[in-house]
Structure 1
Amino acid sequence: MADRWFEDFVVGERWTSAPRVVTDDDLADFTRVSGDDHPLHAGPGAILQGPFGVAVAMGLLQGLDIHGDAVLGLLDTHWAYRRPVRVGDELTLEVTIVRARRTSSGDRGVVTRAMSLVNQLRETVQEGTTAAMIAARSAGPDPVGRAFGTVGWAEALTDKADLADELASWDGAIGLRSGDDEVHVRIYRGRVVEVARRSPRGATFTLGADAATWLELVEAPDNPFMRLAMAGRFTVTGDGYEYLRLTSALHRLADAAREIA
């Protein structure tokens, strides 16, 4: 297996695994290994233990051959169980890279994978994200166009967006959050005066979403910001009135995010 270093992972990359059929032996073996012999997992119509899906997802991920010796360890798994898995189901894993951030040491980075385990009916049975620490080939620098929620990304999109007209009389700070990453853009009368992790008085309001939503925004054929916002995919904390006043400016920032991506 060839090494794939931190720099080789690009936010938005996607893979789909080969299918894997769930067997009676899978149910028996996982019951024995886990010790979970609840009646749900026995007899006609038995369903597999929930963690079985996580184990299958990790195995299918390994089978994609996208990770090598550069992987230093698994950091977390955030997982949801949507539908039962039964003997006879044919499971396929869909993987998307949604985050790639270099650590402060510079010699490694965190790569987050959004994963969906789907059955033969194209139903999502389990899904979530997992993050792994990956060794880096060099010290960078890294592209910022899809580094959502970082200072470099916000600097690039505010350089691209012309906000002078929309914000000519506005004074405040707009927070932009992607998952755990948040950046504040301080604006005075249409001019960006600072981009930083935190502004001295906090953000007037913060627009946030998970990394998958930001990725959908920058990859859609047309700017879907309003549609995603109306669907609740973007959330707002802080001064909601100011958020509504600046909807046009935020739409322009979304255009800029799509351009730099």
Structure 2
Amino acid sequence: MTAAHAPVDTGRWFEDFAVGERFTSAPRSVTADDLAAFTRLSGDDHPLHVGPDAMLQGPFGIAVAMGLLQSLGFHGEAVQGLLDTHWTYRAPIRVGDVVHLELTVLRVRRTRSGTRGTVTRHMRLVGDDGVTRQEGTTTALVAARGSGPDDDGRAFGSLGWGRAVAAALDPEVATLLETWDGTIGLRCDDDEVHLRVYRGAVIDVSRRAPHGATFTLVADALTWLELVEAPDNPFLRLAMTGRLSATGDGYEYLRLTRALHLVVDAARAIA
């Protein structure tokens, strides 16, 4: 779902966000007044920020990104605060640039109280030349209208998601693992779930197996989203380019490549 160059609505509650939603802000021009004002505000008058080819201070980009986020209409009465920001500077921002924000919802998780939840967004500040200037993730705490239940289909790395993946596995997995005894871990950022396998069957799904995972498939939320949304299963391509990695027994990980491909197929099916 995409809304371009217009506010999405007048405010969203926790239940209104869905993993995989994408939004694009209106463009914003960077002016000489922006540079002068941010220099006064920050006190950062380094020579890099002076002259005809001056670069805007790095934090200017995230400030603009937050403003463009506000323009999308997310920050209504339900938003209770910003919990974290992880940000990377990719290319300079200069006077005369025109930038816009591209936002993807990566994670939607209810807190234990059930009355609110966390919403993590990937944010990319992009120039009109198509070059990413800055990008990163931010997580907001958002009040909920009700107490759930919530859909597990894209709650990557959660216990409910792991159970749904196990239930959706192709019968071929049982054949591939009929002589295997071990635990497959699936991790998304800080969330991890373990599938305990015995003679081809998943006999338990837990946050942690008693003896740990034999190996764990690791990816960030943006990669898991690509895994479930790509037209064809991109497991091997993402593994070969390093966006998917593994911890633990590397031999067993490589030996079970076909089975893992089918695990990803199950994740794609429930998404």
Alignment TM-score, normalising by the size of structure 2: 0.95
> Residues 90-113 of structure 1: CA distance to partner in whole angstroms, max 9, x if unpaired?
010000000001111111100000
Alignment TM-score, normalising by the size of structure 1: 0.99
1:49 aligns with 2:57: yes
Matches of residues 228-247 of structure 1 in structure 2 within 5 Å? 228-247=238-257
Runs of 4+ in 1 over 6 A off after TM superposition: none
Per-residue deviation, 1:3: 3.4
**Map of 1:225 onto structure 2:** 235
Per-residue deviation, 1:146: 0.3
SS of residue in 1 equivalent to 2:176: coil
CA contact (8 A) 2:184 2:215 kept: yes
1:2 aligns with 2:5: no
Matches of residues 84-233 of structure 1 in structure 2 within 5 Å? 84-161=92-169, 162=171, 163-233=173-243
**Which amino acid in 2 is paired with 1:109?**
G
Matches of residues 71-86 of structure 1 in structure 2 within 5 Å? 71-86=79-94
Per-residue deviation, 1:213: 0.4
Per-residue deviation, 1:166: 1.0
> Residues 33-65 of structure 1: CA distance to partner in whole angstroms, max 9, x if unpaired?
001010000112000000000000000000011
Structure 1, 117-126 or 62-71: larger mean CA deviation? 62-71
Residues of 2 paired with 1:103 and 1:235: CA distance?
28
Residues of 1 paired with 2:150 and 2:229: CA distance?
20
Gaps of 5+ in 1: none
Tell me the percent identity: 68
Per-residue deviation, 1:191: 1.1
> Residues 185-212 of structure 1: CA distance to partner in whole angstroms, max 9, x if unpaired?
1111111111111000000001010001
Per-residue deviation, 1:239: 0.3
Gaps of 5+ in 2: 1-8
Residues of 2 paired with 1:6 and 1:246: CA distance?
38
> Residues 61-92 of structure 1: CA distance to partner in whole angstroms, max 9, x if unpaired?
00011331100000000000000000000010
SS of residue in 1 equivalent to 2:20: coil
Residues of 1 paired with 2:67 and 2:243: CA distance?
30
Residues of 1 paired with 2:261 and 2:75: CA distance?
37
**Which amino acid in 1 is paired with 2:87?**
W
CA contact (8 A) 2:54 2:94 kept: yes
**Map of 1:64 onto structure 2:** 72
Residues of 2 paired with 1:187 and 1:106: CA distance?
32
CA contact (8 A) 2:30 2:96 kept: yes
